[in-house]
Structure 1
């Protein structure tokens, strides 16, 4: 059905088990994204953003046992419980990936053209000649100058910004319906960050893809995403349309993230507006609100039980905060 989300995640919990430890980096998170939309998932490092998207697709490190519960449906197909060969059919073709570090995402001993072309051969059953032609088209699509010459180069011969554009081209080679971009601008300077974000948004709209943009930076969200999920300590704190959440953040954590963004009118040498305290350790279950120890509005109810995601007066926005939902938090 056209009204069905392309990707639907309901009450997803992920436990990571090693020989020495057990962690729960994702704890009962729900969200959805439709074709042609961009969803931003925002939060501090370690909040569970990447694991939430990679674990259901079998992209966790070797040696880590992953236990998942909940529902993760892509085009109506349940992903949890699929075999590795079944998941492999989705990765790269139906779901493309852009990883944080473009250098480690590329094979340093293979030419750029071959790395793009092999994705087209694998997922679109193209001949080598047709795949090479598609590689050239993709390099042009992502805005790289002198594309024919770039195809014969190795990753180390390119700048960080060009390498990231190549990673984007590889992600698009299989014509995915969903693109997961994991911190795609982390290793780039500010000017190149803006270029990559504009490119991703343009490609997402032109190709009518859905895109999940994973980031720790609230500043990159406004012009790129339609909806947002704010993550804190493995849980969703707030979600809704980007324009409503950024203009009128309800959850104290969301407010803290937005307040930490530097402003143009800040005097030179202004003190950094950070959040007090540190995130909790995820090795032990959290009984109440994970943000309560750092929250100036916390009350006794915040520590007794986990707050559910509750629609606000604007029903398009949901917040997991008992103080906000009782109307007691400062505006």
Structure 2
């Protein structure tokens, strides 16, 4: 039987652990806090997935070495901006022959590295063992076993297939691919576009406005992704437009909900104080914009979200700036 170690006990890490267990994989989870470990061992994660019963194949421990020992697959589900520090703390415990799966959707601040690049650098992991799972994966829907699909991407097709087989649950359909770059960029950028779509909703705009932002946001995502080696079909698939739609439109999306409150006039600090959460797009908009500028890619929506998040520009100013841009052909 395949054994997986899942590092991180948040909503998506726990939901993916459930997927693995329901596919017949034995799962050990790592949690930093003993009370969370005890809760998972009792069959629940009330902090992130209240009311959901965890499969019996899931156990947890606070010792990284205990969790990772003998694992065929290691899943990393920590916040993207903490990955480097976490790997520095317990990366040496990871088995040298395991597939390393990234569930994280972000670009590292300061370095503009994708999560797979951080794993390769800090964890000293060969890229042929690094697998990225991404798609329309709202954790609360998956945790109650609503049907969903995802992309399992790896440079090594055999490694991708091994991970896909381990997470092919009755309600979760994995598709394999080799475009790690495109899959990661799509997963990171959609969080920022979802903030913009949420802002539009918070301002009272309707579906035309939101659909326009989603479509032009996809164009930005493709330009950036392809500039650094991503492949066009990826952005038309589950990791691209699929994840973008789910994140931009669902009230279950933290980035969408955060954007709505910004559009209603709250500041970033006020939203954080009200919700006790920070959306991934808020943290990653700066690094994604830096990556785009480094590669000479035009990303006006991302620029305006960054101006609002970092520079304090109002939602009305952002809309005005986007609508007043010079006209151009839709397809370059």
Which TM-score applies when normalising by structure 2? 0.29
Greater helix percent: which structure? 2
TM-score (norm 1): 0.29
Tell which has more relative contact order, 1 or 2 (C-alpha 8 A, sep 6+): 1
